Structure 1
Amino acid sequence: MKLEIGNFHVKDIVFGDKTSFIDGILTINKKEALDFVMQDERITEAELYIVKPGDKVRICPVKEAIEPRVKLNGDPLFPGFTGELCPAGNGRCHALKGTSLLVVGKHWGGFQDGLIDMSGEGAKYTYYSQLKNIVLVADTNEDFEKREQQKKNRALREAGHKLAEFIAMCVKDLEPDEVETFELEPVTKRSEDVQKLPSVVLVLQPQSQMEEMGYNDELYGWDTNHMVPTFMHPNEILDGAIVSGSFMPCSSKWSTYDFQNFPTIKKLYSEHGKTINFLGVIMSNLNVALEQKNRAAQFVAQIAKSLGADGAIVAEEGYGNPDADFIACLVALEDAGVKTVGLTNECTGRDGNSQPLVSLDEKADAIVSCGNVSELIELPPMETVLGELQALARDGLSGGWANDEILGPSVREDGSIIMENNAMFCGDQVVGWSIKTMKEF
Structure 2
Amino acid sequence: MKLELGHFHVKEVTFGDFTRFENGVLTINKEEALAVVREDEHITEADLVIARPGEEKRIVPVKEAVEPRCRVNSKFDNYFPGVTGSDLYQVGEGRSHALKGCSVLAVGKHWGSFGDGLIDMSGEGAQWSYYSQLINVCLVADTDEEFERHEQQKKNHALRWAAHRLAEYLGRCVKDAEPEEVQTFDLPAVTKREQAVNELPSVVYVIQTMTQMEEEGYNDLAYGWDLNKSIPTYMHPNEVLDGSLIGGSFMPTSSKWATYDYQNCPTIKALYEQHGKTINFLGVITSNLNVALVQKERSALFVAQMAKSLGADSAIVAEQGYGNPDADFTACIVALEDAGVKTVGMTNECTGRDGRSQSLVSMDPKSDAIVSCGNVSELIDLPPMKEVIGELAALSRDGMSGGWEGDEILGPSVREDGSIIMENNAMFCGDQVMGWAQKTVREY
TM-based fold match above 0.5: yes
Query: Are 1:245 and 2:283 matched, yes or no?
Result: no
Aligned counterpart, 1:20: 20
Shift of 1:151: 6.4
Aligned counterpart, 1:172: 175
Aligned counterpart, 1:82: 84
Aligned counterpart, 2:396: 393
Show the 5 A alignment for 1:179-190.
Answer: 179-190=182-193
Instruction: For residue 144 of structure 1, give the secondary structure of its aligned residue in structure 2.
Output: coil
Show the 5 A alignment for 1:295-310.
Answer: 295-310=298-313
Query: Are 1:107 and 2:105 matched, yes or no?
Result: no
Amino acid at match of 2:418: G
Aligned counterpart, 1:435: 438
Q: 1:138-162: CA deviations, max 9, x gaps? A: 0011223334577661100110000
Question: Is the 8 Å Cα contact of residues 315 and 341 (structure 2) preserved in structure 1?
Answer: yes
Show the 5 A alignment for 1:219-368.
Answer: 219-368=222-371
Normalising by structure 1, what TM-score?
0.98
Alpha-carbon distance in structure 2 between the residues aligned to 1:57 and 1:243: 27
Aligned counterpart, 2:54: 54
Question: Is the 8 Å Cα contact of residues 384 and 420 (structure 2) preserved in structure 1?
Answer: yes
Aligned counterpart, 1:143: 146
Q: 1:155-214: CA deviations, max 9, x gaps? A: 001100000000111100000000111111110110000001000000000100001111
Alpha-carbon distance in structure 2 between the residues aligned to 1:310 and 1:90: 27
Shift of 1:354: 1.2
Identity of aligned residues (%): 71
Aligned counterpart, 2:158: 155
Question: Is the 8 Å Cα contact of residues 152 and 246 (structure 1) preserved in structure 2?
Answer: no
Alpha-carbon distance in structure 2 between the residues aligned to 1:167 and 1:440: 44
Aligned counterpart, 1:203: 206
Alpha-carbon distance in structure 2 between the residues aligned to 1:262 and 1:210: 24
Query: Are 1:415 and 2:418 matched, yes or no?
Result: yes
Alpha-carbon distance in structure 2 between the residues aligned to 1:244 and 1:204: 12
Q: 1:254-304: CA deviations, max 9, x gaps? A: 000000000000000000000000000011111111111011101100100
Question: Is the 8 Å Cα contact of residues 333 and 366 (structure 2) preserved in structure 1?
Answer: yes
Amino acid at match of 1:219: A
Question: Is the 8 Å Cα contact of residues 14 and 27 (structure 2) preserved in structure 1?
Answer: yes
Instruction: For residue 54 of structure 1, give the secondary structure of its aligned residue in structure 2.
Output: coil
Instruction: For residue 166 of structure 1, give the secondary structure of its aligned residue in structure 2.
Output: helix
Query: Are 1:95 and 2:98 matched, yes or no?
Result: yes
Q: 1:10-41: CA deviations, max 9, x gaps? A: 11111111100111111111111112212221
Alpha-carbon distance in structure 1 between the residues aligned to 2:210 and 2:261: 13
Q: Any gaps of 5 or more consecutive residues in structure 2?
A: none
Q: 1:94-147: CA deviations, max 9, x gaps? A: 000000001100000010000000000100000000001111000011223334
Alpha-carbon distance in structure 2 between the residues aligned to 1:340 and 1:275: 17
Question: Is the 8 Å Cα contact of residues 68 and 98 (structure 2) preserved in structure 1?
Answer: yes
Aligned counterpart, 1:32: 32
Q: Any gaps of 5 or more consecutive residues in structure 1?
A: none
Alpha-carbon distance in structure 2 between the residues aligned to 1:18 and 1:64: 25
Question: Is the 8 Å Cα contact of residues 109 and 142 (structure 2) preserved in structure 1?
Answer: yes
Shift of 1:9: 0.5
Instruction: For residue 340 of structure 1, give the secondary structure of its aligned residue in structure 2.
Output: strand
Alpha-carbon distance in structure 2 between the residues aligned to 1:148 and 1:410: 24
Question: Is the 8 Å Cα contact of residues 147 and 395 (structure 1) preserved in structure 2?
Answer: no
Aligned counterpart, 1:10: 10
Aligned counterpart, 1:424: 427
Alpha-carbon distance in structure 2 between the residues aligned to 1:80 and 1:94: 19
Amino acid at match of 2:70: V
Shift of 1:438: 2.8
The CA RMSD measured in Å over matched residues stands at 1.1
Question: Is the 8 Å Cα contact of residues 249 and 318 (structure 1) preserved in structure 2?
Answer: yes
Q: 1:371-400: CA deviations, max 9, x gaps? A: 000000000000000000000000000000
Shift of 1:325: 0.2
